[in-house]
Amino acid sequence: MREIAKQQSFQEKISDKIKESIGDLITDEDLKPLIESSIKSLLLEKRKVPRNSGYGTDTTPALLDEILRPHLDTQLRILAEEYFTANPKVLREAIDKVLGDGILTAIHRVIESRMYGPIERLSQEIENTFVRKDSLSL
């Protein structure tokens, strides 16, 4: 069977010619930043992917994060376990500090929330007293 040759438009011919000679048109110095930015955007930037519903997009982690995270999580967990097994004092001090700071913060928040109402009422009464006295003296 004979294949039917498709007529190319002028634009398609130019496009094909550019694709064929792109290596001759771009110098290595010009190509390096293009490749670096492409790799950076592909591997290091968050990605937008279409939603399953077809409406809108969702942002997903960078490809490198997605690829490496499961392996790094496992390795970091193993390293942390080895370190804290060998240095239990460091872990105990960290836990005590977090709990201590957390308890102090919680106590501070409770006191602040309990005092807010009475202090606000006192402030209003003082303001009303002085405003009333100023309005009477006029």
pLDDT block averages, 10 residues each, the chain of length 138: 62 81 78 86 85 84 86 88 90 83 80 83 84 61
pLDDT confidence of residue 31: 80
What is the C-alpha to C-alpha distance for residues 12 and 96, in angstroms, rounded to an integer? 70
Q: Look up residue 81 and give its two tokens.
A: 């376990």
0.85 surpassed by pTM:
no
Q: Is residue 2 part of a domain?
A: no
Q: Find the domain containing 110 and state its range.
A: 88-138
Q: Is residue 43 part of a domain?
A: no
What residues pair up with 49 in beta bridges, in sequence order?
Answer: 58
Q: Is residue 105 part of a domain?
A: yes
What distance lies between CA 80 and its chain's CA centroid? 24
Q: Is residue 125 part of a domain?
A: yes
Q: Is residue 107 part of a domain?
A: yes
Look at the chain and report how many structural domains it folds into. 1
Q: Is residue 128 part of a domain?
A: yes
Residue 50 phi/psi, 5-degree rounding, is -65, 145
pLDDT confidence of residue 1: 47
Q: Is residue 133 part of a domain?
A: yes
What is the C-alpha to C-alpha distance for residues 17 and 11, in angstroms, rounded to an integer? 10
Q: Is residue 137 part of a domain?
A: yes
